[in-house]
Structure 1
Amino acid sequence: MASTSSDVAHQVTPAPSVLASELLDRIDSVRKLGVNHLISLPQIAVVGDQSAGKSSLLEAISGISFPKDKEMCTTFATQIVMAKGASFAAKVTIDPDPSNISVGLPVPKSPLDVAAVIEEAKNLMSEGNSNLIIADKILTIELTGPNYPRLTLVDLPGYVQSVIKGQSETIIEDIADIVDRHLKDERTITLAVIPANKDLATNVVVGKVDKLGSNGARTLGVITKVDVIDAGEEEAVLEILHGRRCDFGLGFHAVRNRNWAEVNGSLSTEELLVKEAQFFARAPWSQLDKSMKGIVSLRSKLVEILHNHVEKELPGLTTELHTILDGKTAELRRLGDAITTDTQKRMLLITNARDFMKSYEAFVDGLYTYATTNPKTEFFLRARLQALNEKFYESILRHIGDTLEKAAIEQMIKEFRGRELAGFPLYHAFIQLVRINLNPWLDIATKHVEATCTEVQKTLRQLVQDVVHPTLVRAFTLVADTFVHTIKDGMMAEVLEMHIDERTPLTYNHYYTQHKVTASNKEYDIEDMILHVKAYLKTASKKFIDAVCMYAIERRLFRLGIPALSDALLGIDPGVIKESMQVVQTRNKLQGEITKLREALSVFY
């Protein structure tokens, strides 16, 4: 038997529990704060291509009209917030709206007035460019009335397949980016609008849901335009509705789209619902369960889905809000307060220099946990210097006596012979052999100093980035680089002097006297000379290695260098402290985000 107007009019969507209704109110309040770019919120997002019947579906659910312009597509998200009320009331706003441009929007007096207000709001949002992609704002339509369910839907721009005159060349990609981002979001239930008169296999939404939307686990498919399919195609549509051709986690639902005459005519919402009920009462649609067809049952289904989803997501949502707030607060703390006065600048310089030097000294001494910054292995300077010193030691030892060839030594003994009596060692030949073997040491020591300075400079630069206030990074980096270059020049000069000193053999080290060889009775004992030279080089190498490491590096770079670096940092002109526009904008943005996040949390407590 066909449904009457009275039957359908009284098919009111079940009221949600008080708790569920309050939770939805809170989620909507948080969404109005404009924190969508910071955290995803539980929602039902309506997705479809341009010709899927999305607008007609939303009009049937909400009872209002949307602007009709076949040449243009929606380029922003629209949030429809429905709630029960004694009589019809509507309000259209733009969220977030720091400039209060929504204030001038008229208040719709009836459902038919809403379309004109939406068009006016769209012009305000896009500043006259109707094809401008607006990703950071939401058009919110609040509706109350006696027959409205407590339900919120977010209508996303429809996928477009081609660009028409006047549209941006990137509109296809831009809209896809907005919609795809929602499909990927684990907190989004997707209401996929699929026209019955189009091939399911080529439907862009079905492909996107399979790829991005957890294989449809969070998706409810709404099959539209079942009333315009050709005769004989009903069975294929029923196959879809029963999940035999496509598997969506939340199933499928069929609705009858309103034709042009019905949309633009004088039929009431109740009369339109009666026509839909009559359509689905006929075969083959009559075989469908009531919960799978019609706007009234779809409303009930959406209310239940959304309420369950919000209750499920709430604990994780509040935890994530706290985590994001903590992160933003830490970012703001690192930026510090705005710096304007000379006293503030001087105090900032002193504080940063103190913290910087404390960390640097800790890394130099190997006391890594004493640093003011979190210890990272790339800051462990002493460990890297120890490895360099060991490599330096091994390199020097490898060059002891490696050029002492007997034939060359015999020739040198003959060339350097003086008045020495037979059996006396030739001192000048000894000196020359020592010098030949010492030559590689200068290059090895020079490379060691360069490698050490490179590590020091790397640590200083990393510390600057990690510890120093952004306004002082450039000045601290310049001082650190100048310090390393200056100290390196002094170290190189000192290493050269040490090497020159070693070219004139002299030692009182007992190691040499214990290991020197007693001269034989041979006039030119080559073996004796080799042993004398090797014994001396081993003695000299110990002295040279220690001198380079202790006096050139430790004394100049650290014992004397650390106070010099500290003085240089404190000598920076506080006048260089000037926050860049980027820092100012970042601080303002963080302060705004922190305020919104705190307001969002306060909604739930």
Structure 2
Amino acid sequence: MSASLNNSYERNVRPCIDLIDSLRALGVEKDLALPTIAVIGDQSSGKSSVLEALSGVALPRGSGVVTRCPLELKMKKSRNEDFWHGKINYKDYEGEIKNSADVEKIIRKAQNEIAGALGISDELISLEITSPNVPNLTLIDLPGIVRVSIRGQPEDIGEQSKSVIRKFITNQNTILLVVVPCNVDIATTEALRMAQEVDPYGERTLGILTKPDLVDRGMEDAVLSIINNEAIYLSKGYMIVRCRGQQEIMENISLHEAMRKERDFFNTHPYFSKLYDEKKATIHNLADKLTHELVHHIEQSLPLLKEQIQSKLAETQGELNRYGSGAPTDPEEKIVFLTNKITAFNQDAINLTAGEELKNLPQVNIFSSLRKEFADWKTDLQKSEEKFKKVIEKELKEYEEKYRGRECPGFLNYQAFEVIVRNQIKELEEPAVARMNDISDLIMNILIHLSEANFKEFPQILKIAKTKIENIKETKEKEAESMLRTQFRMELMVYTQDSMYSDSLKKLKLMEEKAERQAHGVAYPRSGGLYKQSDIEDAMEELTRHLKSYYSIASRRLADQVPMVIRYIMLQESAKQLQREMLQLMRLNDIDVLLEETDDIYIKRNNLKSRQDRLKKALKRIIIS
């Protein structure tokens, strides 16, 4: 590649990668998934050697889990041939690295501070390297997959390492770089199996084969089959590299010399030389491949990333609106703030009684619940009326046997009518009171939720509001119960307008005649015809008809009156009483105590503001990129 083309390439590549690095530095990865390349591999797969060859610096090596924290490796190509600079970030620490030989020691120190001497953590360490010998590329090196723990390590160290890996590779915006040695069966490697779990079709996985110099004679064709995507298919294909082995490290073979030896190895290899010609081999070609994949991936992801940030910003603003802005510090402004809070709550309470939308509980409409409760009450009355029809004959017979005096059979007096009606209506009194108590609980629970929505950040006001709601509930339940019981005592008078009673009786007769027509084709008179009855039976039947007619009137009256009592006292009067008592809070002198916030709310609001700030910065950077 000519110098001019190379410079043009770098001008296109570096800003693209820097954009994602800057978003990660802002902490945006806490909120949404950023496009990246994650490197995974089993122990002794050659993963560290690949990263060393790419970065030009020695990374921690050894037995057991060496990479114990995810390592973000940011490589920036410098045009200055004699320049090398390193920078490391983790937790709250940021430090410069002046000598590349110190990198391994500094990373080990960082891992020990984060995860202890032998533990594993998912907390990220960021290592930035600027050098003329590195590609423009950012990778995240993940802990090696452990099969057996060594002395001092937790027994579940293997599962811990997999848990950290899954956290990163599950992200659909992550390209998976799976490192596998040539001298093992690729199908049995844990790294490839984990990649297939999250990427079953291999759409975002790139395979890297290492240690080609250890391939047994006669197995070269099998390796070529893998590289040519004929064994386990991956959309992004495979690359093969040869890095420094342990013996070469002991012999102090430099990384630069190791790359020369790698090039010679593939150039002269009887089987693998054509892979070099196809640019499927060597660290140099791997770097180019990875850079191209990452830049292309970032470019493809940016439109969606922009949409996600905008959506997250809207969501964050919505949460901030729910938590409010917090109380002001100025005394006069505090009074205005408290007044506005209480006024808003009171308005919501009044809107609740009118069935209008609530500002802080927009999804709540109490009348939908009340309609169901009142419909159930009407159903109770209908069931009672049906039951009454069935027990009338029994009640009349018992009265005839127990209470008839000197009158002749069939001449049951008005007292019988009253006793039977009163007994049946009396049975409805306790269910009506129970229904009122259930609805009272429903209304008060909604008022509690309303107070929580309005005052959740101010525990003292919320505590006072809840106490007032409970006290009002107790008081209004007694009032409503008293009024309901009064209503039932009035019902025991057995009264209705003559015209209403006549209309009800006439309607019942018409219904009976209609039923007879449907059954027999003609309506027969009560005394005579095919179904002629005795005078006593006629009298009993007539009284039955009167009982049914009156009970129907009383039932219709109760169907409306009981809900009206409940709605008036438990909903409207409770809300008005609550409004009056909440307004009294503004007369108190301890406004500062009322407006004290919980630590959780304060921290949550600050976290939301921080998220909002970084998302706004991220969106701005994407727009101008």
> Which one of the candidate residues 83, 96, 102 is aligned to 1:88?
83
Answer yes or no: is the 8 Å Cα contact 1:79–1:153 preserved in 2: yes
Aligned residue number for residue 97 of structure 2: 107
Deviations 1:69-96 (A, max 9, x none): 325421111122222220232223114x
Matched, 1:453 2:468: no
Q: TM-score scaled by structure 1?
A: 0.87
Deviations 1:272-331 (A, max 9, x none): 222112211221212324311111111111121112112111222222222222322322
Deviations 1:30-70 (A, max 9, x none): 22223322122221111112211111111111111113332
**1:256–1:274: structure 2 CA closer, same or farther, 3 Å change rule?**
same
Q: TM-score scaled by structure 2?
A: 0.84
> Which one of the candidate residues 280, 285, 290 is aligned to 1:302?
290
Cα distance in 2, alignment partners of residues 166 and 273 from structure 1: 36
**1:450–1:292: structure 2 CA closer, same or farther, 3 Å change rule?**
same
Aligned residue number for residue 364 of structure 1: 353
Matched, 1:539 2:525: no
Answer yes or no: is the 8 Å Cα contact 2:76–2:137 preserved in 1: yes
Q: After TM superposition, list the pairs within 5 Å mapping 1:55-454 onto structure 2.
A: 55-85=48-78, 86=80, 87-95=82-90, 97=91, 99=92, 101-103=93-95, 107-109=97-99, 111-126=100-115, 129-136=116-123, 138-280=124-266, 281-290=268-277, 291-339=279-327, 349-367=338-356, 370-373=357-360, 375-376=362-363, 379-400=364-385, 401-402=388-389, 404-406=391-393, 408-413=395-400, 415-417=402-404, 426-454=413-441
Aligned residue number for residue 5 of structure 1: none
The DSSP-based 3-state class of the residue aligned with 1:102 is: strand
Letter in 2 for 1:48: G
> What is the deviation of 1:346?
5.5
**1:75–1:477: structure 2 CA closer, same or farther, 3 Å change rule?**
farther
Cα distance in 2, alignment partners of residues 143 and 185 from structure 1: 25
Aligned residue number for residue 3 of structure 1: none
> What is the deviation of 1:482?
3.7
Answer yes or no: is the 8 Å Cα contact 1:14–1:300 preserved in 2: no
Aligned residue number for residue 557 of structure 1: 570
Deviations 1:365-413 (A, max 9, x none): 333xx3314642xx22212222322332242243234355446424424
Identity of aligned residues (%): 26
The DSSP-based 3-state class of the residue aligned with 1:197 is: coil
Cα distance in 1, alignment partners of residues 221 and 505 from structure 2: 107
Aligned CA-pair RMSD: 3.2
Corresponding residue pairs, total:
581
Answer yes or no: is the 8 Å Cα contact 2:346–2:579 preserved in 1: yes
Deviations 1:89-141 (A, max 9, x none): 2223114x4x4x324xx5233x3332233233334444xx13333323x3222
**1:14–1:180: structure 2 CA closer, same or farther, 3 Å change rule?**
farther
The DSSP-based 3-state class of the residue aligned with 1:288 is: helix
Aligned residue number for residue 498 of structure 1: 487
Unaligned runs of 5+ in 1: 1-7
Letter in 2 for 1:437: Q
> What is the deviation of 1:224?
0.5
Cα distance in 1, alignment partners of residues 108 and 505 from structure 2: 102
**1:200–1:13: structure 2 CA closer, same or farther, 3 Å change rule?**
farther
The DSSP-based 3-state class of the residue aligned with 1:36 is: helix
Answer yes or no: is the 8 Å Cα contact 1:15–1:150 preserved in 2: no
Cα distance in 2, alignment partners of residues 467 and 508 from structure 1: 50
**1:354–1:94: structure 2 CA closer, same or farther, 3 Å change rule?**
same
Cα distance in 2, alignment partners of residues 268 and 257 from structure 1: 11
The DSSP-based 3-state class of the residue aligned with 2:239 is: strand
Answer yes or no: is the 8 Å Cα contact 1:217–1:250 preserved in 2: yes
Aligned residue number for residue 457 of structure 2: 470
Answer yes or no: is the 8 Å Cα contact 1:41–1:187 preserved in 2: yes
Aligned residue number for residue 548 of structure 1: 562
Unaligned runs of 5+ in 2: 507-526, 528-533
Answer yes or no: is the 8 Å Cα contact 1:157–1:175 preserved in 2: yes
Answer yes or no: is the 8 Å Cα contact 2:353–2:572 preserved in 1: no
> What is the deviation of 1:360?
4.0
Between stretches 593-602 and 571-580, larger displacement belongs to 571-580
